[in-house]
Structure formats: structure tokens, C-alpha cells
Amino acid sequence: MTRFVHGDEGLASAERSTQALFSGNVQQLSLNELKQLELDGLPSIQSPKMIWSHYWCYQV
């Protein structure tokens, strides 16, 4: 269904995001993917150089 709605690139991004969140390896995600996770409802806060989530912190 994700491929049908968002295309191959959207599916690949969703798979990367899922793998990163469940493995704890969010450093592999791009800034755009992190921003999309926030838009999708993942709890987070932002500071000038960091994006924080409930379980992780990613320096940008």
C-alpha cells in the first residue's frame, strides 16, 4: 500500500525509517526523513543543532 500511495522512493524511505527506529540506529536517516517522522507524529523537540525524540537524539 505504501508503494501505491508514495511510490518506490517513499516506500524505501519508510523502510529505512522503520529499520532505524527499531534498531536504534537513527544516524542513518536524512534530515528530511527525521522531519517527516516528526510530521507523522513521532514525539520530538528541536534545538538549534539537535533533534530530540523520546528515545534518541540526532545531531544535525
The tens digit of pLDDT for each residue in 2-55 reads 888 889 988 888 898 889 888 988 888 888 888 888 888 888 766 666 655 555
Query: What's residue 8's pLDDT?
Result: 92
Question: Are the C-beta atoms of 6 and 14 separated by less than 8 Å?
Answer: yes
Query: What's residue 6's pLDDT?
Result: 84
Q: Where are the domains of the chain?
A: 2-59
Q: Is residue 56's pLDDT more than 60?
A: no
What is the spatial distance between Cα 27 and Cα 11, in angstroms, rounded to a whole number? 19
